[in-house]
Amino acid sequence: MKTFTLETNAETAAYDYLSRLSSDRWAWEYARRNDDLRDDAAHRSDDDISEKKADCADIRILRSRVPQTLAERWGLVFMPDPDLNGFEADAVWSHYVFPDQVEVNCTPRKPGQSCDIWDRTVPHCDITHITDRAGREYLLIRGNDCVVQVRCTGMSLLSLEPVRMKLQISDMVAYERKLKLQKEAFRLYGKGPNTSAARWTKTTQILRNGVIALDCLKAGMSQREIASLLHGPKTVAEEWGVDGSSLRASIRYVISKAEGLRDGGYLMELLGARLGGDCQAA
């Protein structure tokens, strides 16, 4: 897939971190800009979630102490802090709305048997273990400037017996999509921090511009001011007043697309939530 860099300024450079987000982290970036979600999040309390460290490794263990009805309406296992971005927030999506997430199956580990996933991941990544109200287990794994959400099946990772984890694809209908996400997850094991310039695809450029546009609208900026921020004052001066301006049309498209994603479109377009029956968003 072709990638490219974008010219930035002091304001837009703050969004360069978006270039390394996976689709589920993009979903959080849009969801957290929804005023209704933020109103729901205002009811959250730090006491709602228990947090402790695992005995065997430097792993955070999170579990909800209270029902998460408000979070579940947004597709989340529990409500993260909406002021935290896609890297920082403990945004865990239910497998119902994010069916293609990476999946590992846990089985008993025999004496002397190793676990490649454990051996490669625990020493090099920051790991958070999450249990939902129904006892389903998830992992958020952070490393090499990316975040991967993993659904765990089989034995509990919290059991007293050592486990061995294996990647699995349980839905053959979604095989290609799931395999793509598995391959992307291997970015966790890159060498050292990513210090290269932000690189974008056509899709992520539109997503990035949409996030910027939403923040600008929230700040009271006009469409022309948004265009100036994204494309530069010179381009706006030359093209904005032209009849049938493609620049004006592109800004209207970006805003419309972004508002749709923010207001629930993230579920289907970014997470691949099922539409009903065997149908699923592309």
The count of domains in the chain is 2
Among the candidates 169, 189, 209, a domain finishes at 189
Domain residues for the domain of 262 are: 12-17+197-280
- Long-range Cβ contacts of 270-274 (<8 Å, 24+ apart): 270/23, 270/24, 270/26, 270/27, 270/30, 271/23, 271/24, 271/27, 271/75, 271/93, 271/97, 271/98, 272/23, 272/98, 272/99, 272/100, 272/177, 273/75, 273/96, 273/97, 273/98, 273/99, 274/96, 274/99
Give Dmax (Cα) for the chain: 74
pLDDT at 192: 56
Among the candidates 139, 156, 189, a domain finishes at 189
Walking along the chain (282 residues) 10 residues at a time, the average pLDDT comes out as 91 96 97 98 93 90 95 97 97 95 94 92 94 94 94 92 90 78 84 74 97 98 97 95 92 98 97 62 38
Among the candidates 167, 189, 211, a domain finishes at 189
Same domain membership, residue 134 and residue 108: yes
Same domain membership, residue 233 and residue 141: no
pLDDT at 180: 83
Question: Mean pLDDT in the chain?
Answer: 91
Structure tokens at 258: 């972004």
Same domain membership, residue 87 and residue 156: yes
